[in-house]
Copies of this chain bind each other. A is one copy, B any other.
């Protein structure tokens, strides 16, 4: 059901019955290392190109998520996936491997949440019993595409962020154990004129804030409704911008808890973010009988991840044509 202008409320609260994250060597050194299902020491994964390696990451994430859900690939009804490579190559080739009906999406860093939103919609309305959602990125492939090939050894500004090398996948279903998707607010493209391809967080922050505001407006709730409001990889600069914007818009102090999650700060990488939420939710549920992530309206029987909260668009700013 549509509530307000841009928020979908899912009556049946579809369940994320499994998730998986595969990472590279840099991710293995981070403070989220324990949350990956598999970490590779070789960014090539034995492939001939970074793009082919990224496809491997995504295939492994999908395979793992399907296995953890106790399913086989033939059981998957629809596959929704997107990534940062031209023609979302890793997603399309993974769709070939899976050989199931496929919907390609492109939301740059918001692809993971766009996929979860659409999958939840499909499940909630009875248009499928399950769906697999995937996303991937590869640091070296992204650097080549958006900035400079890593082989150049170009100097980076202090605002530069690091695109993750890895992939994430989740199975969404009508029934089962796991965090539940309660609502989703679809974001707009917000372009504040930032054109620095290194500073992705600053480019994304206004969109994140716009979507968070819309979420509360549409559902007629306040930030206190949630224990935690998490966004994707805004980085240090973007985090501060988001905080400032929310303070101006929402009144000082309302958003104090913004972007603090499991000790990871704002630098949760794109591919493990969803997985991290799922794991966090499950751990909290085991400990306290209540879900720590986005609780409030969400009880243990209806715990949820609102994709709303992390839905913001990067594409418009990051990828300006050179003209």
**Nearest Cβ distance between residue A152 and chain B, in whole angstroms?**
19
**Nearest Cβ distance between residue A105 and chain B, in whole angstroms?**
6
Residues of B within 8 A of A20 (CB): none
* Known contacts A315-B87, A318-B87, A321-B89: A103-B96 contact under CB 8 Å: no
A99-115 toward B: CB 8 Å interface, digit per residue (1/0)?
Answer: 11111111110000010
CB atoms of B77 and A2 under 8 A apart: yes
Contacting A114 at CB < 8 Å: which of B8, B86, B104, B121? B104
CB atoms of A87 and B319 under 8 A apart: yes
Interface size on A, residues (CB 8 A): 58
Interface residues of A (CB under 8 A from B): 1-2, 5-6, 8, 47-49, 51-52, 77-78, 82, 84, 86-89, 91-93, 95-96, 99-108, 114, 118, 121-122, 124-129, 145, 186-191, 313, 315-316, 318-319, 321-323
Best-surrounded residue of A84, A92, A319, A322 (most CB of chain B within 10 A): A92
Residues of B within 8 A of A93 (CB): 189, 316
Copies in the complex: 2
Residues of B within 8 A of A101 (CB): 5-6, 186-188
Closest B-chain residue to A110, C-beta based? B104
Cα A20 to Cα B95 in complex, Å, equals 31
Closest B-chain residue to A128, C-beta based? B2
